[in-house]
């Protein structure tokens, strides 16, 4: 009887990683792939959504615990196939919602500290399991527990009195902790005074800790800074921290509501633009102070001011005339009434009109007006609008040329012939090749143009309209993204898939 030939394992590489994701891979080839894949490829294959029971069992038989864990996260492993005695897989089932919360009790007593740490972080009603975790001897587990938003109030009270400043600091960052507790942590690190901080946590006896650390002042300051960053901490007492040395620390105060106006005014004079920028974005800051910030020398500060949802519309339009904003919809524009939108659309300042052009719920007449706007900046912002017709998109491209090609290519109604014409102008609009190559209407001829430049190559190779024969050639591309994209393309010929599984390495010399 002839013994079956055992082929060497397929090793992790660009082509096989791409093939592992290919939705068109036939089931018989998928079975062959599983039989020969190395450990990393087994993990990739476990993420597929077309695994029946037989293929799933074959994967588990070859990959064991790590494959089971991946299958759980992919939603492909039934609960009855999750081994309770494998903590990592059981934890994945619990955290993903596959397993019932009753599993938490056993995992909370697991010998593996990292398992207990993740259970403590699970924001679900764990009942008595919370009490078990609150007595964990490892402080990192307690820190994880202290940050849990679903922790019962009585345990929050208990952890606020914990001897370790690291545990109290984690609690101080939890925005579900009662305001009274947060206020105490902000004031002095909490009561009673802590007896352990990060630098002395490994010293066993209190006397030794006192000798090494004294009053644990650095740890207490960490607790205060954590409370300072928590949006649920009451603002009373924050003014005492306005002179902290680090800009991010002062910015925490600048972003808070309920601070005295004189404190806001002092922060508006801060030397660091990050602090002033945080203040500019704060809707609780008085309007007169926002108007002063509109004249700030830093463009970063003025840009943040534009993102303030409470900014007066006249201030925003005045700011837009001199400050460049991105294409995102600003909060104040998102809240603008139709009347305000019409005022913006009628502005003689193109930058002001551009602010409104990104609204997706524009009245039909305003949308048409923006599509016909003579300014390229306005056209860029309205071109991707899903309600524009192919004719309107074409007109925008013809009127403004290469500067708007990227935005035009982002339109779902951009015609195939227009995509092709824009791609031909690749010398001046290479950045447009990415949206062109991703567009569902792009033809094979257009994709060939996109392949000529790196900007479009990595996207074009994944397009279903790519010619199959060219995909086979691109398997040998030295760029990992291109080679894996070609292998993952559903248009790749089955024969090429089979050759890859037989050990063919594209670009390598043929044997013989």
- The per-residue pLDDT for 200 is 61
Q: Is 398 within 8 Å of 389 (Cβ atoms)?
A: no
- The per-residue pLDDT for 201 is 58
Count the neighbouring beta carbons within 10 Å of the beta carbon of residue 240: 12
Residue 150: pLDDT band with limits 50, 70, 90: very high
Whether residue 403 has pLDDT greater than 80: yes
CA distance readout (Å), 465 to 75, 373, 424, 459: 30, 34, 18, 12
Percent of the chain with pLDDT over 90: 86
Q: What's the gap between Cα 126 and its chain centre?
A: 28
Q: Is 80 within 8 Å of 62 (Cβ atoms)?
A: no
The tokens describing 335, both together, are 């809240």
> What gap in Å lies between CA 460 and CA 437, rounded to an integer?
5
Buried b or exposed e, range 70-80, using 16+ CB within 10 angstroms: bbbeeebbeee
Residue 353 lies in a domain: yes
> What gap in Å lies between CA 503 and CA 179, rounded to an integer?
63
Q: What is the pLDDT of residues 244-278, one digit of tens each?
A: 999 999 999 999 999 999 999 999 999 999 999 99
**DSSP 8-state code for residue 294:** T
Q: What is the pLDDT of residues 70-126, one digit of tens each?
A: 999 999 999 999 999 999 999 999 999 999 999 999 999 999 999 999 999 999 999
Q: What's the gap between Cα 194 and its chain centre?
A: 36
Residue 303 lies in a domain: no
- The per-residue pLDDT for 29 is 97
Residue 502: pLDDT band with limits 50, 70, 90: very high
Residue 427 lies in a domain: no
Residues whose CB falls within 8 Å of the CB of residue 195, separated by 6 or more in sequence, listed in order: 163, 206, 209, 216
> What gap in Å lies between CA 456 and CA 438, rounded to an integer?
9
Q: Mean pLDDT, to the nearest integer, of 182-197?
A: 92
> What gap in Å lies between CA 173 and CA 201, rounded to an integer?
20
Question: How many domains does the chain fold into?
Answer: 1
Residue 343 lies in a domain: yes
Residue 405 lies in a domain: no
Residues whose CB falls within 8 Å of the CB of residue 380, separated by 6 or more in sequence, listed in order: 327, 354, 403, 404, 406, 407
The tokens describing 224, both together, are 């205060």
> What gap in Å lies between CA 157 and CA 154, rounded to an integer?
5
> What gap in Å lies between CA 166 and CA 292, rounded to an integer?
40
Q: Mean pLDDT, to the nearest integer, of 27-37?
A: 96
Residue 334 lies in a domain: yes
Whether residue 498 has pLDDT greater than 50: yes
Whether residue 63 has pLDDT greater than 60: yes
Q: What is the pLDDT of residues 448-488, one digit of tens each?
A: 999 998 879 999 999 999 999 999 999 999 999 999 999 99
Whether residue 328 has pLDDT greater than 80: yes
Alpha helices (H) along 321-415: 331-334, 338-345, 350-357, 364-371, 376-382, 390-400, 405-409
- The per-residue pLDDT for 416 is 98
Residue 468 lies in a domain: no
Q: Mean pLDDT, to the nearest integer, of 333-359?
A: 97
> What gap in Å lies between CA 395 and CA 438, rounded to an integer?
21
Whether residue 426 has pLDDT greater than 70: no
Q: What's the gap between Cα 323 and its chain centre?
A: 28
Whether residue 145 has pLDDT greater than 50: yes
Secondary structure in 3-state letters for 403-467? HHHHHHHCCCCCCHHHHHHHHHCCCCCHHHHHHHHHCCCCCHHHHHHHCCCHHHHHHHCCCCCCC
**For 1-5, 292-296, 424-428, 438-442, which range has the lowest pLDDT when averaged over its residues?**
1-5
Burial class (CB in 10 A: 0-12, 13-18, 19+), 512: exposed
Residues whose CB falls within 8 Å of the CB of residue 160, separated by 6 or more in sequence, listed in order: 168, 171, 177, 181, 184, 185, 190
In total, the chain counts a number of residues equal to: 512
Q: What is the pLDDT of residues 196-213, one digit of tens each?
A: 886 665 555 565 555 566
The tokens describing 74, both together, are 């992919």
Average of per-residue pLDDT values in the chain: 92
pTM of the predicted protein model: 0.85
- What domain range includes position 323? 312-382
Backbone angles phi, psi at 490, to 5 degrees: -65, -15
Backbone angles phi, psi at 500, to 5 degrees: -60, -40
Whether residue 5 has pLDDT greater than 50: no
- The per-residue pLDDT for 504 is 85
Residue 359 lies in a domain: yes
């Amino acid at each position: 009887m002839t013994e079956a030939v055992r082929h060497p394992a397929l090793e992790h590489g660009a082509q096989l990683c791409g093939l592992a994701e290919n939705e068109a891979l036939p089931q018989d080839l998928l079975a062959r792939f599983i039989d020969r894949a190395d450990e990393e490829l087994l993990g990739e294959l476990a993420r597929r959504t077309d695994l029946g029971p037989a293929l799933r069992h074959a994967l588990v038989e070859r990959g064991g615990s790590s494959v089971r864990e991946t299958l759980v996260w992919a939603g492909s492993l039934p609960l009855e196939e999750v081994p309770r005695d494998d903590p990592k897989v059981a934890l994945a089932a619990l955290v993903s919602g596959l397993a019932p919360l009753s599993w938490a009790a056993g995992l909370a007593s697991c010998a593996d500290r990292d398992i207990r740490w993740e259970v403590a972080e699970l924001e679900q009603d764990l009942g008595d399991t919370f009490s078990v975790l609150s007595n964990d001897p490892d402080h990192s587990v307690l820190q994880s527990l202290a940050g849990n938003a679903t922790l019962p109030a009585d345990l929050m009270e208990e952890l606020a009195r914990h001897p370790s400043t690291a545990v109290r600091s984690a609690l101080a960052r939890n925005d579900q902790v009662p305001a009274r507790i947060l206020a105490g942590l902000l004031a002095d690190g909490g009561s009673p005074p802590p007896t352990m901080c990060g630098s002395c946590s490994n010293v066993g006896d209190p006397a030794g800790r006192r000798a090494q650390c004294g009053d644990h002042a650095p740890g207490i300051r960490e607790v205060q800074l954590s409370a300072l960053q928590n949006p649920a901490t009451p603002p009373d007492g924050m003014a005492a921290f306005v002179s902290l040395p680090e800009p991010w620390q002062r910015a925490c105060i600048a972003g808070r509501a309920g601070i005295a106006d004189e404190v806001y005014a002092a922060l508006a004079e801060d030397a660091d633009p990050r602090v002033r920028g945080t203040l500019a974005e704060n809707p609780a800051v008085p309007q007169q102070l926002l108007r002063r910030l509109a004249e700030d020398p830093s463009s970063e500060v003025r840009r943040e001011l534009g993102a303030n949802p409470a900014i007066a519309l006249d201030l925003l339009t005045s700011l837009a005339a001199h400050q460049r904003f991105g294409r995102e919809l600003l909060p104040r524009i998102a809240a603008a009434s139709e009347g305000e939108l019409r005022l913006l659309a009628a502005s003689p300042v193109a930058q002001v009109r551009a602010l409104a052009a990104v609204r997706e719920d524009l009245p039909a007449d305003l949308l048409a007006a923006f599509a016909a706007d003579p300014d390229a900046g306005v056209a860029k912002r309205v071109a991707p609008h899903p309600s524009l017709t192919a004719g309107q998109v074409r007109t925008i491209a013809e009127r403004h040329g290469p500067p708007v090609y990227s935005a035009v290519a982002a339109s779902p109604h951009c015609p195939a012939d227009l995509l092709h014409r824009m791609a031909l102008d690749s010398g001046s609009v290479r950045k447009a090749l990415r949206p062109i190559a991703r567009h569902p209407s792009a033809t094979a001829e257009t994709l060939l143009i996109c392949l000529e430049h790196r900007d479009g190559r990595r996207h074009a190779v994944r397009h279903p309209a790519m010619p199959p024969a060219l995909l086979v050639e691109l398997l040998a591309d030295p760029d990992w993204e291109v080679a894996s994209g070609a292998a993952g393309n559903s248009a790749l010929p089955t024969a090429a898939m089979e050759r890859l599984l037989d050990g063919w390495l594209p670009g390598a010399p043929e044997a013989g």
